[in-house]
Amino acid sequence: YVVVDEAQNIKNDAAKQTQAIKKLNARHKIALTGTPVENRLSELWSIMEFLNPGYLGSGTDFRKNFAIPIERYRDSNRAESLKRLVQPFVLRRLKTDKTIIADLPDKMEMKVFCNLTQEQASLYEAVVQEMLAKIEESEGIERKGLVLSTLLKLKQVCNHPTQFVADGSALPGRSGKLARLEEMLEEALEEGDKALIFTQFAEMGTLLRQHLQETLGREVFFLHGGTPKKQRDIMVQRFQEDRRGAPLFILSLKAGGVGLNLTAANHVFHFDRWWNPAVENQATDRAFRIGQKKNVQVHKFVCIGTLEERIDQMIEQKKELAESIVGSGENWLTEMSTAQLKELFALSREAVGE
């Protein structure tokens, strides 16, 4: 037997790690993963190539027959064909299935709609005007890069002006999201609850930690890609075991989204959105897993009237396809026409709070 846990780590067929694992000989091979597809269907192909070499054809054949039709053209017939091919080899187990785990509490997911401040709205408009002018004049790889850069900048503006400008200025009163987060965390702390706060930006995590410690008067942990393993293990142990210890744990999505057991928390906040349901669910599952004794409340922050709300709506529409076999990264957004991007980035009147 060869059993590969966290099998999404062999999703890149060209990686040395993947190549080494595929050289292991065994009559029986098992791959365990919560996210067989995070961004591209080629990841599913790579895992299947480990399990049953050649079953889904070569990488080139797979791209032509499945990846391009499904990812680029949303071909539901091809998606259904692929699902039929892989289903005999997939044993899917959901934690929400009471026959699998009888005593796991409920998970309640909710959107938290936030307004922008006047300052955020001004910055947002300036970024849109500047970047659309550049996108209109570019093409190919350069255009894709500019679209992704625009997404990044607008996400930063929606989080906080200080993150976008990177000038170290004061945080209070300048971000609708931050004000809402403070209110909700105060309520959770009054109930004696603990919370995880996910952000994809390490710099935002640093700002949040300092600000929340000052305003809430409680110790706050922050785990990011540069956190040494020994320090990470101490933080996790203290968060899990110490009732009087830090009740709030900020995690960078990529560093803290997998492999951690943080069931002491029963609130999960996605401060900014990674527009990929598989990655967000993996992060939520740090708290919603075996050992959790309370119902878990998942709060997904969305700035109303901005690209955050529109992309959230688009993902909801695509979720059926995504949940069958497809993961949604951000690259599909780079294929949009300039007219579609204008509509996507436009700031609606309801975006700004009173």
Cα 318–chain centre separation: 16
Residue 35 burial by Cβ neighbours in a 10 Å radius (0-12, 13-18, 19+): buried
In the prediction, which pLDDT does 320 show?
A: 58
- For the chain, the residue count is 354
Residue 116 pLDDT level (bands cut at 50, 70, 90): very high
Residue 326 pLDDT level (bands cut at 50, 70, 90): very low
Identify which of 164, 178, 152, 113 has the alpha carbon closest to the alpha carbon of residue 275.
152
Higher pLDDT, 198 or 273: 198
Give whole-number Cα distances, 208 to 48, 131, 190, 291, 296, in Å.
Answer: 41, 28, 19, 28, 22
pLDDT tens-digit map of 210-230: 999 999 999 999 999 899 999
Beta-sheet strand order (sheet of 248-252): 107-114, 296-303, 267-270, 195-199, 248-252, 220-223
Domains, the chain, in order of start with CATH, read 2-89 (3.40.50.10810), 107-351 (3.40.50.300)
In the prediction, which pLDDT does 323 show?
A: 56
329: pLDDT strictly greater than 70: no
117: pLDDT strictly greater than 90: yes
How many angstroms separate the CA atoms of 292 and 256, rounded? 18
Written as six digits, the tokens of 131 are 């970047």
In the prediction, which pLDDT does 351 show?
A: 82
pLDDT tens-digit map of 231-263: 999 999 999 987 777 999 999 988 876 778 999
In the prediction, which pLDDT does 327 show?
A: 42
In the prediction, which pLDDT does 280 show?
A: 85
User: Mean pLDDT lowest for which of 17-21, 92-96, 175-179, 209-213?
Assistant: 92-96
206 contacts: CB under 8 Å, gap ≥ 6: 222
What's the whole-number mean pLDDT along residues 59-73? 90
In the prediction, which pLDDT does 146 show?
A: 94
Cα 339–chain centre separation: 27
In the prediction, which pLDDT does 90 show?
A: 87
User: What does residue 350 show for φ and ψ, rounded to 5 degrees?
Assistant: -75, 0
In the prediction, which pLDDT does 95 show?
A: 66
Buried b (16+ CB within 10 A) or exposed e, 125-158: eebbeebbeebeeeeeeebbebbeebbebbbbbb
Round the average pLDDT of the chain to a whole number and report it: 88
pLDDT tens-digit map of 118-174: 999 999 999 999 999 999 999 899 999 999 999 999 999 999 999 999 999 999 999
In the prediction, which pLDDT does 275 show?
A: 73
Residue 348 pLDDT level (bands cut at 50, 70, 90): confident
Task: Tell how strand 195-199 and strand 220-223 pair up.
Answer: unpaired
* CA dihedral sign, ordered 188, 194, 199, 202: positive
Q: Kindly state the percentage of the chain with pLDDT values over 70.
A: 92
59: pLDDT strictly greater than 70: yes
* Proportion of the chain in helix, strand, coil states, percent, rounded to 5: 50, 10, 35
Q: For the packed helices 307-324 and 277-284, what is the interaxial angle rounded to 10 degrees?
A: 90
328: pLDDT strictly greater than 60: no
Written as six digits, the tokens of 105 are 């509490």
Higher pLDDT, 303 or 72: 303
